[in-house]
Structure 1
């Protein structure tokens, strides 16, 4: 399963990054004006994917695009820990409708697992059980 995020237009003279595509679940998009960099944080959907990454804690991968360059994986920045996610959770695998309302987004956010609602420093017992961790 592949997911993607495309930014059609940014405010002012901000250079948009290329389309982001990967098998992970995008959960947070951020722009840092001082460095001209976009950051995309993603988490896993399947335990096998997380295992293949070496079971990183926190369970996120960060990508950066500087001045519209290709996305590159970078170490997770601590500044994102405990931030609320801001991307649509639970995307439809057949694609999304042209319009997803704020009410729809909020409903999906409330129904999502905690690691998709907030960038967690450490998983709690509920999340640990998700992948049968001891």
Structure 2
């Protein structure tokens, strides 16, 4: 619990600094853009996109549908991270991801709604039926 709060705080502190800067009379737009660009470059962007992809409420809905090949590229990244973290090739990861994307059993909308915004509880619950995706 506390480690999650600390992680959240470390993610939010830069935004607080940006908001404080914006609230000053002498804040300039170009300064804010530079700060946001610097922060964006410091993130591991594919990982950030995968976090949105695997969020039960957002899924792919946050991305524009007209970006050709986006889902395929994100699928490649998820396989890459799986191998990098667990040192083993995934065997069912993509089929589990496809069920998640299509909201097929066990990832039905009805079941998803029961978790409200408890993302860790959501993936813990599905750890038996989606062993690789919930890892």
Shorter-chain TM-score above 0.5: no
Larger Rg: 2
Band the TM-score falls in, shorter-chain normalisation? under 0.3
TM-score computed with the length of structure 2 as normaliser: 0.27
RCO higher in structure (CA 8 A, sep ≥6): 1
More helix by share: 2
The TM-score, its normalising length taken from structure 1, stands at 0.27
- Quick check: which one's strand share is greater? 1
